């Protein structure tokens, strides 16, 4: 962990905290622990259903844990590393564009289109296509 304050692992139901938090105020450690615990609560409540990591389910869990209005990203003095997202994929159906740091290793379809038109199951029609780099 270089820049992140913590990570929640589901379905393992475990939390990993950055050792650099020892250098911060105790309130920051507890806030980070509650932030990560909110992820586990949100995932547990949603079961296998797809949920946005910092979506409404997570925000609700944060409020219940005493950190209402929690932001997705910390403001701790850890160096933030910005990575270029050079791999671009497009859904040919809805034209949603996905930018990724690493290329996709397997066939992936647009989640929203599969959910809307195919009951959430994969369909080749909604497969993400890699966009060719512009010259």
What are 54-84's pLDDT values in tens digits?
989 999 999 999 999 999 988 887 776 677 8
Chain centroid to Cα 65, Å, comes to: 20
pLDDT of residue 87: 93
19: enclosing H helix or E strand: none
- The predicted model gives 89-103 an average pLDDT of 93
Q: What token pair was written down for 7?
A: 């990570």
DSSP-H helix ranges across the chain: 26-46, 56-64, 111-118
Whether 53 has a pLDDT exceeding 60, the answer reads yes
For residue 48, pLDDT over 60 is answered with: no
What pTM, to 2 d.p., does this model score? Answer: 0.60
Helix (H) or strand (E) holding 8: strand 6-9
Q: What is the pLDDT of residue 91?
A: 95
CA separation for the pair 113, 92 (Å, rounded): 10
């Amino acid at each position: 962990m270089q820049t992140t304050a913590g990570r929640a692992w589901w379905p393992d139901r475990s939390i990993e905290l950055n050792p650099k938090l020892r250098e911060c105020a105790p309130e920051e450690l507890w806030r980070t622990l509650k932030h990560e615990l909110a992820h586990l609560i949100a995932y547990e409540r949603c079961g296998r259903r797809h949920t946005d990591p910092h979506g409404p389910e997570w925000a609700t869990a944060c409020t219940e844990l005493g950190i209402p209005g929690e932001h997705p990203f910390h403001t701790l003095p850890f160096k933030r590393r910005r990575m270029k997202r050079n791999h671009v994929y497009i859904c040919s159906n809805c034209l949603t564009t996905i930018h990724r740091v690493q290329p996709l290793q397997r066939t992936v379809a647009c989640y929203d289109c599969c959910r809307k038109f195919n009951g959430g199951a994969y369909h080749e029609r909604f497969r993400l296509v890699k966009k060719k780099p512009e010259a």
